[in-house]
Amino acid sequence: MASEPAAIKTLLDTLNGKHGILGCLLVTEEGVMVSSSLPEDMDLQTLGALSATLFANNDVSLQRMNMGGLEQMTLLTDQGVVHFYQIPKHYLVVLTAPGQRINLDGLIRSVEEQAKQLSQMGI
């Protein structure tokens, strides 16, 4: 990876608290965690693996439906929002804190900007 791990973590940390965001996770397409700004008490390795699988499976489904490739997706759950954004060979996964008021438009725009910065870092 071309970027310094500390620089990636710093960038992920910038979104914490904005738009109800609890934290972010950067994983490879294979589900290997690269960096995280999520609380350390979460099972980040499992979250990364499951996130990559979830994104990849939905991408295949959309392609089979002739709807193109998946670039980003947002899941609204009873515990909050999980937003996924595809960066070349990686997924950026953003979780909101339970019970937070969510500005979904702001969240999506912020994630797009963060993904752009990660791409510029050589991610």
pLDDT digits (tens, 9 = 90+) for 56-66: 999 999 999 99
Each residue's pLDDT tens digit, 8-41:
999 999 999 899 999 999 999 999 999 999 999 9
Strand order in the sheet with 33-36: 33-36, 21-28, 90-96, 80-87, 72-77
pTM of the model: 0.91
pLDDT in tens, 65-81: 999 999 999 999 999 99
Distances (CA, A) of 70 to 37, 59, 91: 24, 5, 11
Per-residue confidence (pLDDT) for residue 121, from 0 to 100: 87
* Domain assignments of the chain as residue spans, ordered by start: 5-120
Q: What pLDDT does 1 receive?
A: 43
Superfamily of domain 5-120: Dynein light chain 2a, cytoplasmic (3.30.450.30)
* 80: amino acid identity, one letter: G
**Alpha carbon distance 77, 95 (integer Å):** 11
